[in-house]
Amino acid sequence: MKIFHPQSENIESVNPFHPLLKYIDSYFLREKEWQPVSDVRDADVIPIEFYSRYISWDNPDPIPNIGKNQILLVWPIEVFESIVPSLCREAAIHSPFYKKHDKILFVHTNLLDNDDPKFISYDLMFNRHKLYHTEYDAELCGSDKLWTWYAPKITYELGPIEKTLAITNKIFLCPLRIRDDQNTVHNNLKYKLKVFLHSINANMYINDPYNNNYFLPNGWGEKELSNRDLMDGMKRGGWYPIDIKYYNTSYIALAIETNYGGEANFGNDILYITEKSFDPLIKGNFPLIMGSHHTIKRLKEVYGFKFPDWIDYTYDNLVDLDKRFEAYCNSIKEISMVPVEKIHELYIKDRHILEYNRNIFYQRPYDNLYSKIMNSLQVLKWLD
């Protein structure tokens, strides 16, 4: 199937549909079934950015002429509390091209929303982890890609999971990134976690990029530290996993997931796992992650990850956000009172879990966008 993917340095001048496609094209270029074409008239599928002017509700510009058999592919839609499934559909219905063109597919990241063939769920974050950590390709993972701007290959290399007991070992690893604006619910939840951890004097690594306290990735030297764009990326949302040495001298990773079941608990209808969970699972720590209702359960059932029996994950069963966060903090507090020597013994007992979880990224297949699109086209009877 032919997909519109013009090649040009000035990508925005030739691709008004998806100006960012050049920076996120790894995910379909890796799938060999696609045939990229530079002439939009030759394309079977035309990717459109969700935030492009053609999807704006009050867009005054007419959409360019598209053939009646060409498929418009709106992607990627990152789904979280402020972009719930119902809003995705509302945006679609009100978009200016929706009434003009019948054949439109929307690709989103909510794995629980997969019953409508026009709205395709796609595990973008798992694919990213698998690609960069296990099959790094210079062309697909170049330094001009979204989330990984300017990062060298060494950033995503994996070292052995080898924890040796030392007096400097930490129980917890908490790579928080709290934005300057503390008014959002998400930032406040992370801020509350930070305050709580300090209140119990947790034995931890905790970073604070906005106050220039960085946990750096593998092998970063003066070249990376002097790259202002790269360092700014660490603050604003880049994905730069921290050095394996932090994982090998700690045991339990703490984080607030992107989707945590926030305002009105809309997020409890969303399964969107990100690097907050995937990083410790592939790098070799036991995750103690605050996500939405049943995040841990779904990590087990959907992906097959395993978790130790000496960490209390019962907070995962609570629907109410405040009660879940309180129970989450209680679980952290219980672990914080265990001597690090005992934690190390538990690690030795369950090290096989860490190896097993890492191996999932090697053995679990990529979520294949091409096959999902083809399935939708067959269900919708849009194939010639």
In tens, the pLDDT along 131-152 reads: 999 999 999 998 889 899 889 9
Residue 267 lies in a domain: yes
Q: Is the distance from CB of 145 to CB of 26 less than 8 angstroms?
A: yes
Average pLDDT over every residue of 194-211? 89
84 with 220, same domain: the answer is no
Q: 8 and 84 in one domain? A: yes
pLDDT (mean) for 243-261: 94
310 found inside a domain: yes
Same domain (yes/no): 181, 203 = yes
Contacts 24+ apart (CB under 8 A), 370-375: 370/1, 370/28, 370/31, 370/33, 370/34, 371/33, 372/120, 372/121, 372/122, 373/1, 373/45, 373/71, 373/73, 373/105, 373/120, 374/1, 375/117
Render 240-270 in DSSP notation, one character per residue: -PPPHHHHHT--EEEEE-S----GGGGGGG-
Better pLDDT: 370 or 52:
370
Longest Cα–Cα distance in the chain: 68
Which string of b and e fits 198-235 if b means at least 16 CB within 10 Å?
eeeebbbbbbebeeeebbbbbebeeebeebeebbebbe
Element (H, E) at 277: helix 275-283
Specify if 230 maps to a domain: yes
Helix (H), strand (E) at residue 333: helix 321-336
Residues 86 and 162 in one domain: no
Shared-domain flag, residues 80 and 168: no
Q: Cβ of 337: how many Cβ atoms within 10 Å? A: 8
Tens digit of pLDDT for each residue in 313-340? 999 999 999 999 999 999 999 999 999 9
Both structure tokens of 222: 């003066």
**Within-domain flag for 127:** no
Confidence of residue 309 (pLDDT cuts 50, 70, 90): very high
Does residue 356 sit in the same domain as residue 374? Answer: no
Pair 347, 372 in one domain:
no
> Can you give the pLDDT at residue 12?
47
Q: What is the C-alpha to C-alpha distance for residues 18 and 3, in angstroms, rounded to an integer?
A: 12
More confident residue, 73 or 235: 73
Q: Is residue 54 part of a domain?
A: yes
Domain harbouring 298, CATH code: 3.40.50
Query: Can you state the percent helix, strand and coil of the chain, rounding each to 5?
Result: 40, 10, 50
Domain containing 8: what range? 2-122+367-380
Asked whether residue 79 falls in the same domain as residue 116, the answer is: yes
* Model confidence band, residue 94 (pLDDT cutoffs 50, 70, 90): confident
Name the domain count of the chain. 2
Question: How far is 51 from 36, CA to CA, in rounded Å?
Answer: 22
Q: Quick: pLDDT tens for 333-345.
A: 999 999 999 999 9
**Residue at 145 is within a domain:** no
Task: Verify that 287 and 371 share a domain, yes or no.
Answer: no
Looking at the fold, whether 199 and 318 belong to one and the same domain comes out as yes
Is residue 293, in this structure, part of any structural domain at all? yes
User: Is residue 133 in a domain?
Assistant: no
Number of residues assigned to the chain: 384
Same domain, 178 and 315: yes
Residue 116: per-residue pLDDT: 92
CA angle centred on 311, ends 273 and 206, rounded to 5°: 65
Residue 164 and residue 43 share a domain: no
Q: Read off φ and ψ for residue 54, nearest 5 degrees.
A: -75, -15
